[in-house]
Structure formats: structure tokens, C-alpha cells
Amino acid sequence: MNSSLILQNVLTPPVLFFFLGTIAVFVNSDLEIPSPLPKLFSLYLLLAIGFKGGLELQKSGFSGQVVPTVGAAIIMSLMIPLICFVILRLKLNVFNSAAIAAAYGSISAVTFITAESFLENQNIPFDGFMVAPLAIMESPAIIVGLLLVKFGLPKNRPASNKMRWRAILHEATLNGSAYLLLGSLVIGFLTAGYNPSAVEKMQPFTGKLFYGAECFFLLDMGIVAAQRLPSLIKSGSFLISFAVLMPLFNAIMGVFVARLLSLGPGNALLFVVLCASASYLAVPAAMRMTVPEAKSSYYISTTLGLTFPFNIVLGIPIYMGLVKTFIPTIS
């Protein structure tokens, strides 16, 4: 892999602001982002990327690679948790294994957004319809994780602790991030199709402001990730290794699926990033509610403390190198 890709990725404002937040924790700076703001910027990024994806989906329609790509994404979100679960069961109990497996079968929208910025910096085109698998991949992984827990439940588990499946399905399919992302996708699609004049009015909000908001959000994510590192170190070498090697393994699977789908370089990278990223928002919320036996320090510290920073700093350029190597359509 060309090491210059890593350097070019690192020397971009979003990643540098992530480092700035991380360093703030290590040097005991009192830098702190007031709690409502990161949530606001997270919602803004999801709204903007969903809306822009809807515009592009209106242009491309549902023909060509759209439906096969979405179908492959769903299959990957079902398969990855099962593979992770088998590996994690070598060292962990059913509850922790299922919770972590669900997190790695799900996705990180911020990693996806960072990958889009990487492609833009490299002048590599990609299609907006890739937001569709982003919006869909979260729910199947959560459901698989909870099914794995259900199959491992002891028969004498108190009835009060048994899973409430209506609440679980609601959380898996209608959690805030998935709902806003999918809803914004639909609104962008309808706006482009039936009220194109309104698209231009949205442009300043969903266009020029986006990059700055991403930098601000990653500044906060750097702080949070650094704060999670002590918990990850305490969890032991097995989970530390898993948090780095599992994304690489999932990325390799994603590359070969992208090749079968005949995706172009930009779309292939985004598909690979969806396979290699891990959820640190929706899945932890679902697991905390339904699987109290699982240690949150495990499934949050692995995804947020190591996998997330690994992906945005080193993973994305490494995955681009894999795409260039194994997908022959790239010169």
C-alpha cells in the first residue's frame, strides 16, 4: 500500500482535529465540549448526508448497482456478527460476545463520513446511493446480536429480565440515528424529484457547512476516544487485538464482495468501510437496555477507544490500498 495515502489522510483538518481532542486528554487540558453540542452536530451530519444521498438516489434511480449493493450490505450485517461471535466466545461469555459482535456488525456513520471526505480529497468519485446501505445496516446487526443472546439465555433467567421483543425491534429499527438518516434520505429523494428549486435553498446548509461541522464533531470524538482508552487497556490483550484485527478481516471480506458487485473505487471503499466500522451509539444503547449482563466497558471501549480511531486514521487509507490491489477497475 502507498504510505502517502496514510499521510494525506492524517494531514486533513477532520483527522487533525481528532488528534487535537485526543492530545487534550493526554496533556490534561480542560478542553471540553458542552454536552448538547456534540449531539446537535451528530444529528446535523446525519441529516446532511442523508439529504445529499437522497438527491443522488433520485438521479441514479433504483436500477444498476443500487439494489444488489443494498442486498449485499444486509447480508454482511447479518454475517459479520456471527463470525465475531464465534471468535469472541473463545474468551468471553455469551452476553459479552453477543454485544460486541452486534457492535461490529453494525456501522459508524462518522467513519463513513470521514471516508467520503477522504475520497473527495483524493478526487475519487462515489455515488450518493451508498447512504442507503449505511441507513439499513444498523438494524440487522442489532437483531442478530440479541438473537445470539436469546439462544444463550439460561433457562432459569428471571422473567423480569427476559427480552421485550417489541421494544427491541423498535430500538433496532427506529433508533434516532437510523430514523433521521433514512428520513433525510427520503426527503432528499422527494425534494429532488418534485421540488428541485428547494434543493438550491438547502445547499448552504448541507454543503459548505458540512466540513466544518465534521471537524468540530471529530474534535469531540477525539476527547471521548482518549477517555475510553484506559477501559480498553484493562480489558486485556485479546480485546485490544480484536479491536484492530477484526476490522481488517471484515474489510478484506468487503473488498471481495465489492469486487463481485463490480463497484467503482469510491463506492467500493465506502462499502468496505461499512463492513469494517463498528457502532458506538445505537448498538450500545440497545445492549444497555436489553442485555444488562454484558459489560458496557467492553463493547464501548473496543469500538470507540480503538476501532474508531484506527479506522479514521489508518484504516481508511489501508482499505483504499486493498481496493486498488484487488479490484482491477482501478488504474
Q: How many CA atoms are closer than 13 Å to the CA of 87, on its beta-carbon side?
A: 19
Find out whether 46 and 110 touch, Cβ atoms under 8 Å.
no
- At 57 the three-state DSSP class reads helix
Task: Identify the pLDDT of residue 111.
Answer: 93
pLDDT of 159 higher than 50: no
Q: Residues 233-256: pLDDT tens digits?
A: 888 899 999 999 999 999 999 999
Could you tell me the pLDDT band of residue 293, with boundaries at 50, 70 and 90?
A: confident
Predicted structure pTM score: 0.87
Q: Residues 36-50: pLDDT tens digits?
A: 888 888 888 889 888
pLDDT winner (highest mean) among 227-236, 296-305, 309-318: 309-318
Distance (Å, whole) CA 222 – CA 220:
5
Q: Residues 76-88: pLDDT tens digits?
A: 999 999 999 999 9
Task: Identify the pLDDT of residue 57.
Answer: 83
Domain 12-19+34-152+163-326, CATH number (from 1.20.1530.20, 1.25.40.20, 1.10.30.50, 1.10.645.10)? 1.20.1530.20
Instruction: State what percent of residues in the chain have pLDDT above 70.
Output: 92
Work out the average pLDDT over 257-270. 95
Task: Identify the pLDDT of residue 295.
Answer: 87
Mean pLDDT of the chain: 87
Q: How many CA atoms are closer than 13 Å to the CA of 300, on its beta-carbon side?
A: 19
Distance (Å, whole) CA 194 – CA 178:
24
Find out whether 125 and 267 touch, Cβ atoms under 8 Å.
no
Could you tell me the pLDDT band of residue 91, with boundaries at 50, 70 and 90?
A: very high
Ranges of each domain in the chain = 12-19+34-152+163-326
pLDDT of 282 higher than 80: no
The lowest-confidence range among 8-12, 56-60, 181-185, 264-268 is 56-60
Please enumerate in sequence order all residues whose Cβ is within 8 A of that of 185, keeping only pairs 6 or more positions apart, or say none. Answer: 50, 51, 53, 54, 57, 131, 132, 135
